[in-house]
Amino acid sequence: MANTEKTITVEQIGSPIRRPAYQRATLIGLGLNKMHRRSTLKDTPEVRGMIHTVRHLVRVVEEA
């Protein structure tokens, strides 16, 4: 059977400057650290929660 694992791609659209430390740490946890960088991650509830935490700094590019 083929691997049908869902992924989600997020792009950083906001700067972590003057943001709380937990928001910076969440961006790093998502694999983002500079503007307009993209990261493709597994679509899990944990990742969705991290995206929700920094939803004002990231944008979901595509869901596959």
Q: What is the pLDDT of residues 1-29, one digit of tens each?
A: 456 789 999 999 999 999 999 999 999 99
Q: Which two tokens stand for residue 62?
A: 């595509």
Mean pLDDT along residues 42-49: 96
**Is 40 within 8 Å of 31 (Cβ atoms)?**
no
Q: Residue 5: what pLDDT?
A: 83
Q: Can you give the pTM of this predicted structure?
A: 0.87
Residue 18 lies in a domain: yes
Q: Which two tokens stand for residue 57?
A: 């700094």
- CATH code of residue 14: 3.30.1390.20
What total number of domains does the chain contain?
1
What is the percent of the chain with per-residue pLDDT over 90, rounded to a whole number? Answer: 88
Helix (H) or strand (E) run with residue 58 in it: strand 58-63
Residue 1 lies in a domain: no
Average pLDDT value over all residues in the chain: 92
Residue 2 lies in a domain: no
Domain assignment of residue 59, given as a range: 7-63
- The type of residue at 52 is H
Q: Residue 64: what pLDDT?
A: 58
Residue 55 lies in a domain: yes
